[in-house]
Structure 1
Amino acid sequence: MHSSSRRPTLTIALCFAVALIEGFDLQSAGTAAAGLRQRFELDAMMLGWVFSSSIIGLLPGAFFGGWLADRIGRKKVLVAAVILFGVFSLWTAFAGNYGQLLLARFMTGLGLGAALPNLIALCAEAVGERRRSTAISIMYSGVPLGGALAALVAMFAHDQWELTFIIGGLAPLLAVPLMLMLLPESRAFQLTTRPDERLSTATALFGEGRVSATLMLWLSYFFTLTVMYMLLNWLPSLLLDQGFSKSDAGLVQMLFNVGGAIGSLLGGVLLDRVNPVRVVLCIYGGLLAALAGLGLAVGVIAMAIAGFAAGLFALAAQLVLYALAPPLYPTAVRATGVGAAVAIGRLGSVSGPLAAGQILAAGAGSTGVLLAASPGLVVAALAVLHILRRARSVSGSQVSAHNGNA
């Protein structure tokens, strides 16, 4: 049905489109926060739970989405996930009370969580090892661009906050027929032997000397995603609390996402072409500097620059993690390994917005939130460097592709 030369391009293009929609839906609650707060009469902690309920859904979604994909196929699980988050994004727009709102966000998160490990696995398996990071980065750049679209819609929608969720629900449902017709299943998955009942999840994650790599991967995902989701969900509210106007906050949020798209692309391209240790040090150092900028910037221009830099380095850091995960695991258990790492990272994603809500409720302000995020980034960077050192020391390791062009 698909020529061998067209398969990788078609896979990456369709996965990019899904990632674009995913990015829109991931940030829809953050950009619609003011409308949600007014409609449901939410305080800071209640709003934190609205943000975190979708992220809590991401956790089991990512794990079981990856686990199931290694058994029935990446394409089938991805299509089901897209339908799920489309339906419940629509439901968010028409939720009648706070309980329904939380349930709608949880179910949306479940679908979004199941989609991501399949997007990563499909792109990783569509190309050769030397282009793997680049392929994943092209796909993943759709996530921040989708977030920028969500910020744009929020700016023009004004008080019609429901519009964000209606668009976020209809777009994935319209994409499903295209995916069914055009998206090829991973050839690597089709050619591999299916894992049988004897190959447990523990063996998939920790077998064949993968214990330290898996644990370090989880640690880096946890702390990087803590900061990532704190910024994604709370940045507009933090800016409003600092005295910026709604339009200024929207501008900074949009620049955060544009920076993220550039950072995502650069992260993957650099990983495939430059010494990855230098790439990691630059990215995490830049992210720490950007957080300081967000806390100290005075005036909309300085804040816009800090927001752009924060997006660039935060998404580049996340892309590094998504590119490092697939080569650590053989094809038969790859989606399980990626899904488990994403799921563990979601624990950080849940704690980030909730911690930010508690810090704000305690009166520490936005500077307190940004300061609290910094130590975790140092831990994440050290964990990534451990994985890279291990990859370099293990001769013939599947991860050595990341050092091939250094």
Structure 2
Amino acid sequence: MTISASNSPRAAITIGLCFLVALLEGLDLQAAGIAAPGMAVAFSLGKLQMGWVFSAGIIGLLPGALVGGWLADRIGRKRVLIGSVALFGLFSLATAHAWSLPSLLLARLFTGVGLGAALPNLIALCSEAAGQRLRGSAVSLMYCGVPLGAALAAGIGIAGYTADWQRVFQVGGAGPLLILPLLARYLPESKQFRATLQADGAANLRRELFGQGATWLLWLSYFFTLMVVYILINWLPSLLVAQGFSGRDASWVMFALQMGAAIGTLALGQLLDRLPAWATAALVYLGILAALAGLGLANELRTMLLAGFAAGFFATGGQGVLYALAPYFYPVQVRATGVGAAVAVGRLGAMSGPLVAGQMLALGAGSAGVLLASAPGVVIAALALFRLIGRRPL
């Protein structure tokens, strides 16, 4: 990706620091899935209770995204990002020191608030630093830090630390706290935000968020796409172990998924800047359907690794495409609010996915049934996105 000469140093610093935050965010998002077997043993948790542990963090993402986006359009993207990084770092460490199920749920809830508040600011900062022409590439370059961080969490599992389940949360908590001085010293505030500080944000918010059909279509696509992504992030390791794979094999599949996600985020972001948006969207959702079928039907490690890579490439990579598309639909003065609202609605899907999967497993549905049952939501998300693109060609 190239940045215009006039703003390249500033944009490069912004994208680089935001990538670092996204890396740590990805590590924490995957941490619960990697630590799940150890947590289940330590706290004597059943499948439905583990679903609540997964969903507690996701529940926190929703108000975090709403409030984080709203505050960013009023006091600045940088300030809110620094506060959110401090919050999810502290409560990731608190997760490692939980002593009961209620304390574990509370720590995951507040970790989610911090993670949720960070994402709309990362998207807004990168999209505004890169400008209109390279927005898709800039956001996808930043967002590929999320699957790479998740791959790092999977690497901790591969190294054999799944029994010592606190280790991944200790790493995930210390990292954000260590980078706070870098963000405070070197992260520049958005020039576009500073130029619109005097705008009438309240009137624009009502008109730009709810006065157009684009918002509702964007929300629908976010909801169902993130539902699938979070079923994979949270439940896939446990589903694989239930199918007879070892914990180490499951960690390798998650590593393949997250490497596919990192490559897919970069590749699909580049395609978004070069191909019609409808073509990129078609590729994403057809790929998700094929990957879900592969994960549900594969019965040996080699094919499962391939299916996991494809799932990461298209599902998480497609999520990156959605994050890159959202800023196109909102002006600067309400951009973080609009993106934050869309992310929050997506988190509703992310929250419901692990709960629905946990309930299906508790009722006796197999791994294939859970994965294949996600297909209708993928179709709905695709149709909503195609309609969105048709209303406002990109």
Instruction: Within 5 Å, give how 1:93-112 maps onto structure 2.
Output: 93-112=96-115
Match of 1:153 in 2: 156
Q: 1:24 aligns with which of 4, 27, 33?
A: 27
Alpha carbons 1:93, 1:166 under 8 Å: kept: yes
TM-score by length of 1: 0.94
What residue number does 1:220 align with?
221
Tell me, yes or no, if structure 1 residue 144 matches structure 2 residue 158: no
Q: Equivalents in 2 of 1:230, 1:319: separation in Å?
A: 17
- What whole-Å deviation, never above 9, does each CA across 1:106-165 have from its counterpart, x for those lacking one? 000000000000000000000121100000000000000000000111222242111100
Query: Which amino acid counterpart does residue 386 of structure 1 have in structure 2?
Result: R
Q: Secondary structure of 1:351's match?
A: helix
Residue from 199, 202, 210 that aligns with 2:206: 202
Structure 2 stretches of 5 or more lacking a match?
A: 1-5
Give 1:282's aligned residue. Answer: 283
Residues of 1 paired with 2:299 and 2:31: CA distance? 27
Asked if residue 8 in structure 1 is aligned to residue 18 in structure 2, the reply is no
- 1:395 aligned partner: none
How big is the alpha-carbon RMSD for the aligned residues of Structure 1 and Structure 2?
1.1
Q: 1:310 to 1:364 in 2, by over 3 A?
A: same
Amino acid at match of 1:225: L
Q: Which amino acid aligns with 1:41?
A: S
Residue identity in the other structure for 2:344: A
Q: Which residue of 1 aligns with 2:3?
A: none
User: Superposed, which structure 2 residues align to 1:150-299 within 5 Å?
Assistant: 150-156=153-159, 157-196=161-200, 198-199=202-203, 201-207=205-211, 211-299=212-300
- Once residues 236 and 191 of structure 1 are traced to their aligned partners in structure 2, the CA distance between those partners, rounded to angstroms, is 47
Q: How many residues in Structure 1 have an aligned counterpart in Structure 2?
A: 388
Contact 1:35 1:159 in 2 (8 A): yes
Once the two structures are superposed, the pairs formed by residues 109-148 of structure 1 within 5 Å of their partners are 109-148=112-151
What is the DSSP-based 3-state SS (H/G/I as helix, E as strand, rest coil) of the residue aligned with 1:325?
helix
Alpha-carbon distance, 1:98 to partner:
0.4
Partner amino acid for 1:223? Answer: F
Query: Matches of 2:333 and 2:63 in 1, distance apart?
Result: 20
Residue aligned with 1:274, SS: coil
What residue in structure 1 maps to residue 362 of structure 2?
Answer: 361
Matched-pair contact (CA < 8 Å) for 1:223–1:379: yes
User: Do the aligned partners of 2:204 and 2:334 also contact (CA within 8 Å) in 1?
Assistant: no
Question: For residues 8 and 137 of structure 2, what CA distance do their matches in structure 1 show?
Answer: 17
Report if aligned partners of 2:201, 2:334 keep a CA contact under 8 Å in 1.
Answer: no
- What is the CA distance between 1:193 and its match in structure 2? 3.5
Work out the CA distance in 1 between the residues paired with 2:126 and 2:357.
Answer: 34
> What code does the residue aligned with 2:194 have?
Q
TM-score, normalised relative to structure 2: 0.97
Residues 71, 195 of structure 1: 8 Å contact kept:
no
Query: Does structure 1 retain, via aligned residues, the 8 Å contact 2:136–2:324?
Result: yes
TM-superposed deviation, 1:197: 6.8
In the TM superposition, residue 198 of structure 1 has moved relative to its aligned partner by 4.4
Q: Please list every run of 5 or more consecutive structure 1 residues that lacks an aligned counterpart in the other structure.
A: 393-401
Supply the distance in 1 between the matched residues of 2:307 and 2:86 (Cα, whole angstroms). 36
The whole-number CA distance in structure 1 between the counterparts of 2:260 and 2:303 is 15
Match of 2:87 in 1: 84
Amino acid at match of 2:206: A
Matches of 1:276 and 1:266, distance apart in 2:
14
Deviation at residue 201 of structure 1 after TM alignment:
4.1
> Take 1:118 and 1:159, find their aligned partners in 2: how far apart are those partners?
35
2:59 matches 1:56: yes
- Percent identity between the aligned chains? 58
Worse-matched range after superposition: 382-391 or 353-362: 382-391
CA distance in 2, matches of 1:195, 1:287: 41
CA positional deviation for 1:200: 6.7
Matched, 1:74 2:59: no
Letter in 2 for 1:215: W
| Secondary structure of residue in 2 paired with 1:96 | coil
* SS at 1:95 equivalent: coil
